[in-house]
Every structure is written in structure tokens, then in C-alpha cells.
Amino acid sequence: MAALPATSYDLERPELWSLKGEGNANWVFSYAGTSPSLVGKVLRVRKPKPPPAPEHLALEDAVWGPVLGNRAAADGSDSAADRERAYVQLLLAPLLGPQHIPLQQQVYPSLDFLQRLLHCSGCLSSLPDGKAGVAAPLPAVLMPDVTLLPSSSPSGTRGPESEGAAGPAVCIELKPKCGFINACSTVHPANRGLKHSRSRYQLHQLLKLEEGSIDACSTYDPCDLFSGEPSRLRAALAALLEQPQNNLRLFLGGQSQQLPQRPQTCAEAGAAGEPAGEQQVPQHAAPQQVAQQQEQQQNRQQQQPQEREQERAGAALEALLVGLLPQPDGERRGALVELLAAVLEVEEVLPRVLQAQQQCPYDVEGVYKLYCSLAGVTGTLSLASTCSTAAEGLDDASDTDAATDADAGSHAAALQQLLALPIDEAYAVLRSYVVAATAKDCAIMITLQRLTGAAAPTATEAAGADGSLHSSNDGTSPQHLSRHGPLGCIYSSAAGAWYAYRLALVDLDQKALAKIVKHSALDAAILVAARRHLAAHLDDG
């Protein structure tokens, strides 16, 4: 069950709520009062947005009406909240597992409450068009604060008897992104060399690097996280901890922490890649050799402060984990990776998220054309289509070779087949695209808290004789024992401790169909940046 009946909840004074987080679509506020019905809850308020154009509203109604009923595109905050809940319950929960989706309860904050809340929290600056407040009530839901665990530790019939928690809860928020490569025929032949060989995340890193929003590309690859291979899963988690960017956040006791970014060395960033040892230049070396040696020396000098910064970043993360992991300094990062991997494996959530991401068999290039066809819009929208298939910077031989007559023919046939679908099937494609986009942007919240005074599992339990425990092959990885409601318990042999944990999926907003236009434009920009990057490296080579 993903929702509770709507209610006119008493939210008390706005001053008791503080901004906990903010996304593109919502504000999230945490409660600091003492009301038992509100302690451990967050208030999620949808940001105001301009009404959609009539033609977009009509298309939303036609696409979602068959599955969400007449609330599909109805106007008003109540209808929007109903639509959001129905979308999660009817379409997402069967794919992702209802046990992983926190209960949500629609509430009705008054306009005065919202005005004061936004003013006290400093949120007015993020309102669209510089507005000084909100003109109408906004959709809001109460839900558990998944960055914390309930005060009572899990105590199922097989659960460990503990004396309580040791230290604050640590919550890791993962934004895994798309975990597969969509090798479909609707991708333009000129783009297949890039799209069919690299993950979308890796390609997007090149655009962010070009724009200056990141200093170096991350080594994280979502395809590793979703691979089903234990070693690749752990490598992906380790990469996220080294360079979190906006794909990993850490909460300590419910409070967001500033995670240090581990800077890459020149070799990792691909700027040097030279042997670490000194290389002697012959006495009568050519000027080119001398210049190369000087460049290598400069790279080594730059690398030394980067390595010191890496050490500081690692120490800062280790310090945040002291209350969770009793291991010595230098070992906690690896222990956290093991704990996170064990929870993900036991809960089997990654295959579910991947299945949801794969609901749409088409790439955004084809979906964009289908959307334009169904929406009946032209003019400015054609710009994104032009960009997405332009051969801008197409110097990569693999791209040129890919655009053969056979490839062009198969691409044209695939697009023609997509655009010729019966209207009901075409609407189903757009629905599947939105569901997949939601799954690609969702967040996985894993909250952990070490328990004290609980005995280690017996040999019988460790062997899994009663089927309640998933034991590791080497006896050192965490082992799952029991579940109590949304909480689980896991034992870490390396830490010699039990951990209470909860896993939740959040950020499951239904995206407007009109966002397909922005998705297509971003896709085009990513491809252009990737080609520029590859061309620059070919020139350097």
C-alpha cells in the first residue's frame, strides 16, 4: 500500500517545520515539534507551476485516461494529488514493489500556513517568475522521514534482542540513473556508435565537464550497479562514494552532510597517463622530447596536491561513519560499501528498478517524434529534432561508417513502424516512456543504525538452516536475518554488530509528457559534447 486516505491533518505551526531538501518539483520539510503524530514525518509540498497549454492537457488526458481514469489531466491541486497517488499505486508499485514505497498521506495545508512556511524556510526565492508567495493551496503529503529509523528497533520473532542503537542513523541516498544501454533501431545511425557503447550517465558526464559543472568525470557506471555481479556492484558503490556529485548524499541523524569530492589524479582523468617513475631525457634529445618531459614533470607536481586532497576527502568521510562502523580509520569506506551492497542484494530492489527502467523499448529520439506526431505541434519543437540527428562534429570514423545505407534503411523503417502504431498502442508507448523516466530518476534510500548488545547469529542461523539468513560465501560480508514491518536486520561479521536498516524508493513523480521535448534537447546536447570530447582526444593522439 502506497497511500493512506486524505485527511485535514493538524500540522501545527509553520515555524516547527524546516526545509530539509528541495528538488525540481517539490520542497521537503522536516518536523521539529513534539506531536506524536508528526514526529518522524516529513511534509512534501509540490512547487507551483504554470498550467499546461490546452493541447498538452488534451494529450495528457488521452494518454493517461485509460489507466488513471478521469483524474488523468483534471485541473486543481486535489486532482493533481489524486493523479500522483494513482500513478504510483497502479503503475509503479507493481513494478518496484509496494514494500519499497513509503506510505503517503495527502494533507490540506491552508494557504496561510503555506505562505508562512515558505517565508520562514526561505523558499520564496525559488518560486517561478519572482512571485512573492503562492496564490492557491498546493498539493502536499505527509510521509515517513526515511533518513531516520523509528525509535523502536526491529524485534521480530527471529530478530536480535538489542539494548538499543549505538550512534545516529546514517542514510545513503543513491540516484542510480539508467542502468542499461538501449540498443534500439530508432536511434539514428550516426548516434549509435556513442549510444550503443556507453551508458547515458557516462555520456552526460562529458557534457557536464564541458559546461564546467564538474571538475572531472566520475568512474561510476550505472551498468555496473545494475549488472547483478557482486564485484561490479561494489565497484559502482565505491565509485559513488569517491565522487558523489549529485548521485549520492549522506544524512547523519537526519541531517544532510557535505560530502567531500575525491579529486581524480591526472592519470585517472586521462590528462597524463604517464609512468610514475622519473624518465631521463637523453642529453641531445629533440625539443619535442624535452617538452614532453617537462609536461610529465608538471603533471606529477600537480598530482601531489591532488593526492593530498584525496587523503583529506577520505578522512572526512571516515569521520562521518565513526558512529556507524567500529572499524579503524581507513577501513570504514570499504565496510560501508559491503553493508550497502548486502542490503541491495537482500532486498532485490535493483532488478525491480531496472525492469521499470526498461518498460519503454524506444530511445528518446523515436519517442520525441511520436510525441510531436500525437501532439500535433511543429515550429520550435522541430529544433530539438534537428539537433538530435545533426552530424555536428561527426569526425569519429565509427559514426561515419555506421551511417550505411542498410543502417539508414533500418532506422527509417523502425521510425515508420513506430509512427504508424494504432493510437492506443502509441499512447501506451508514451506511458511506458514516462514510467521508465521516473525509474531512471528515482532515489534509493538506505538507512542504517548499529545496534548494541545483540548476540551474533548462531552457527545454525549462519548456515541458513532455517532459511531466514542469507549468508555470504566468505563469512565476512553482512548477513540478513529478519524483518519487522519496513525494517530489516543485518549482521556484519567484519563489524561484529547487528544493524537495523530500511530501504525506500522516493522521487517517484509523474513527469509531464511535455518534458519529452526537454529530454530530446538534452540528448542532443549530450551527443554534441561527447563528439567534441572524442574529437579532441583523437587530435591529441
Among 139-143, 194-198, 234-238, the minimum mean pLDDT is found in 139-143
Q: Give me the pLDDT at residue 366, please.
A: 97
Question: Distance between CA atoms of 416 and 429, rounded to whole angstroms?
Answer: 15
- Structural domains of the chain ordered from first start: 3-144 (3.30.200.110), 146-180+200-269+310-373+407-541 (no CATH)
Sign of CA dihedral 509, 515, 518, 522: positive
Compute the distance between CA of residue 23 and CA of residue 21 in angstroms, rounded to an integer. Answer: 7
Q: What is the pTM of this model?
A: 0.84
Q: 144 - beta bridge partners?
A: 41
Phi and psi dihedrals of 496, rounded to 5?
65, 40
Q: What is the pLDDT of residues 227-278, one digit of tens each?
A: 999 999 999 999 999 999 999 999 999 999 988 776 664 344 443 333 334 4
pLDDT digits (tens, 9 = 90+) for 401-432: 545 777 888 899 999 999 999 999 999 999 99
- Phi/psi zone of residue 302: left (φ > 0), alpha (ψ -120 to 50 degrees), beta? alpha
- Cell numbers 523499448 correspond to 361
Q: Is the pLDDT of residue 190 over 80?
A: yes
- Rounded distance between C-alpha atoms, residue 432 and residue 103, angstroms: 24
Question: Is residue 168's pLDDT more than 50?
Answer: yes
98-124 pLDDT per residue, tens: 999 999 998 989 899 999 999 888 887
Instruction: Tell me the H-state helices in 47-110.
Output: 54-68, 77-87, 93-96
What was the pLDDT predicted at 161?
61
The CA distance from 184 to 540, in Å, is: 32
Model confidence pLDDT, tens digit, residues 20-32: 998 888 899 999 9
Do 306 and 264 touch, CB atoms closer than 8 A?
yes
